[in-house]
Amino acid sequence: MESVMSKRYIVAMIALILMGIGSLFAQENTYPQLQIQPEEVQLGVGDSLQLHVFYVDSNEIVTDTTATWSVIPDSLGSFSSSGYFYARAEGQGYIYASLGDLTDSITVEIESDDGGHHHGSFPRLVIVPQQFEISIGDSLQLHAFYMTSMMSMTDTVVSGWSLTPDSIGTLTNEGWFFAKAAGEGTITAQLDTLQASAEVSVEGEGSGHENWDTSQHVLVLPSDTVAEVGSTIHFQVQFILNQDSLVDTTAQWSMRGMPVGSLNDSGDLTLSSAGYALIDAQVGDYTGSALVVATDSTADTTGVRNNITITRDSHNPQGYSVMKQIKEGELWKIGGLPHPMNVLNGGGIYFPYGSLSEDIRINVSLPGFAHDNGDSVTYGPHGVVAGVDFQVMVDDTVSEPYYFNTPLIVGLPFKRGLLRHLGIDPTTLGLYFTTMQGDTVSFDSTGIQYTTVDSSWNMIFSSVAHFSSLAVRGNPTTTKTDQPENRIPSGYVLSQNYPNPFNPVTQIQYVIPKQSHVRITVYNMLGQQVKTLVNSDQPAGSYHVLWDGTNQQDLPVASGMYFYRLETAHFNQMKKMVLLR
């Protein structure tokens, strides 16, 4: 019997070698072809890995695709339909992906079981991935597989998921893991009497989501997604009652940002064009959101993916240290920056396919108008709550501003506490290019489009045409006026603005006697809305807000008479003012 098996194995290996050689000669300069990534696999017995296959057409344009997977010898492991490979036995061989007449192969090497994996009786339950690292605020869906033998592995639905310790994250019934705190833990899946486990390590540095409020909040999964045009993403929603309790629920779905596709009432998003969008889920009075970036690998007809090297200032001989190296078509999630640049952690930049014509280096720093106060960072210009300087270099020569062939997608974090301190409504935030001349900072939004504020994650996203210095800026401040603690306002008051007439800024004072949702709006002589100055809940007190004579797009308005209105649930009053330029 052993002799027969040895002969079959030798024949199989000879055939495999011949097929591999034939494949090399056949696919070296011919298209279309398949390409498997990664190009080689090294695993331990009991480990798992998801492989991906790409279709390369006659124009050398690369797109994701699906294929039939196999491994020779098949004793080495098993494949799921989605390309997950589970290593079962020590040895060497080849992994194949087949699509019609096309085939590609890579080498696989399985090492002995040093990780403590046990391979006893069947049936058996397996979780994929069995080990993974994730950052706070990110999410990942785990999959469970049912094995009836070493040769049989099928997807399955388990009866329950659990996490130990539960302080590092939250698990849904569908196997989605959402990371909440740094640490290490074990995820367990249960199916009748069968049990399987996976190890998770949550990184606390660099997520930017540590200020996310999980009290009575809506969680949308997956939280951050990059997917190819033509694919469909199913979003799910969970209602978080407290730090440790999730409740499945339904929501009203909507989409903001760029028109990347169509979203139905069940949370299914079908991507039809490249760009980004925020997927919002509303449950009662609460809203959660998730970011999706749609990629289009066919947009680059050159077949060359240029390199991007991300650096920051350093005291080493080079003058900078490398933080990340990526290519076009990839997303850089900003993380690991030390103080004071840690205010940028949690942001991100997506470089679309075809956005570059050359390799570049981007040096990241805080802009000149940022001030390091030791334990915090503040920004000089009025209403600025965040900023960054992206200095692009080609062959170590500064190119500023640097224009991209296709605009990038940029996300920058802001601190909600700073907005509350300055009295800025998050919905008024915008992203701007900045230039400095001495102590004067100028703002320009030309080349910035599709700006969207995500109040759930304290992020702002935009499509950005070039790189230089960027700033996140809100409307002029709303400030609470100091008054004795025992003095409670007796009624609503809307005061006349001062100065009046004015140029360029005037102040509007108002008083509210109890907690109210306050809205202050400026209108022109035709009754058209010019700008919303306040739109937020405020406790009882005396306040003032500034108007700088600009519209909702922060563009100067013409001289003339304007009206401002204070509205609450129990009060509505309007007064007039005059702008003289």
Classify residue 502 by its DSSP letter. B
Report the distance separating Cα 124 and Cα 192, nearest Å.
11
Residue spans per domain, the chain? 2-111, 124-203, 217-295, 302-473, 479-579
Report the distance separating Cα 475 and Cα 422, nearest Å.
10
CATH domain 302-473 topology: Chondroitinase Ac; Chain A, domain 3 (2.60.220)
pLDDT (0 to 100) of residue 477: 52
Q: Does domain 124-203 have CATH number 2.60.40.10?
A: yes
Two structure tokens written together for 107: 């080498």
Q: Do 217-295 and 302-473 show the same overall fold?
A: no
pLDDT (0 to 100) of residue 60: 59
Report the distance separating Cα 444 and Cα 431, nearest Å.
9
Two structure tokens written together for 427: 């919905």
Number of C-alpha atoms within 13 angstroms, CB side, residue 132? 21
Specify the amino acid at residue 437. Answer: Q
Cα distances from 320 to residues 234, 364, 448, in angstroms, run 42, 10, 28
pLDDT (0 to 100) of residue 168: 87
Residue 70 CB neighbour total at 10 angstroms: 14
Number of C-alpha atoms within 13 angstroms, CB side, residue 344? 25
Two structure tokens written together for 95: 């992994």
In tens digits, the chain (581 residues) has pLDDT values of: 344 334 444 434 444 444 443 444 334 456 788 888 777 888 888 777 878 887 777 665 556 677 888 889 888 888 876 677 888 888 999 999 888 888 888 999 988 765 444 455 678 888 877 778 887 777 777 888 887 765 566 778 888 899 999 888 888 777 888 888 888 999 999 988 888 888 898 876 444 444 444 444 688 888 888 899 999 999 988 876 554 555 667 789 999 999 999 999 999 999 999 999 999 998 877 788 999 999 998 888 888 899 999 998 887 778 888 888 999 999 898 877 778 888 888 899 999 999 999 999 999 999 988 888 777 788 877 788 999 999 999 998 999 899 999 999 999 999 877 787 777 888 889 999 998 887 788 888 899 999 999 987 889 999 999 998 999 998 755 555 544 444 456 688 898 988 888 887 888 888 888 888 999 999 998 889 999 998 888 888 888 888 888 888 888 899 999 999 999 988 999 999 999 87
Would you give the end-to-end CA distance of the chain in angstroms? 99
What CATH number does domain 479-579 carry, 3.40.50.1970, 3.40.50.12280, 1.10.10.10, 2.60.40.4070?
Answer: 2.60.40.4070
- Return the beta strands (E) in 445-528 as ranges: 448-454, 459-467, 469-473, 478-481, 493-494, 506-512, 516-523
Q: 423 and 478 in contact (C-beta within 8 Å)? A: yes
- Residues in contact with 431: Cβ distance below 8 Å, sequence separation at least 6, in sequence order: 410, 412, 445, 448, 451, 460, 462, 464, 470, 471, 472, 473
Q: Which residues sit opposite 188 in a β-bridge? A: 162, 197
Specify the amino acid at residue 93. Answer: G
Q: 200 and 169 in contact (C-beta within 8 Å)? A: yes
Instruction: Report the C-alpha dihedral over residues 63, 69, 72, 75, rounded to 10 degrees.
Output: 140
Classify residue 218 by its DSSP letter. E
Q: Which CATH architecture has domain 217-295?
A: Sandwich (2.60)
Residue showing tokens 């949702």: 517
Classify residue 556 by its DSSP letter. B
CATH domain 2-111 topology: Immunoglobulin-like (2.60.40)
pLDDT (0 to 100) of residue 388: 94
Two structure tokens written together for 55: 């279709």
Report the distance separating Cα 455 and Cα 461, nearest Å.
11
Instruction: Report the C-alpha dihedral over residues 140, 141, 142, 148, rounded to 10 degrees.
Output: -160
pTM over 0.75: no
- Residues in contact with 126: Cβ distance below 8 Å, sequence separation at least 6, in sequence order: 48, 86, 144, 145, 147, 153, 196
pLDDT (0 to 100) of residue 457: 83
Report the distance separating Cα 241 and Cα 218, nearest Å.
9
Give φ, ψ of 401 to 5 degrees: -75, 155
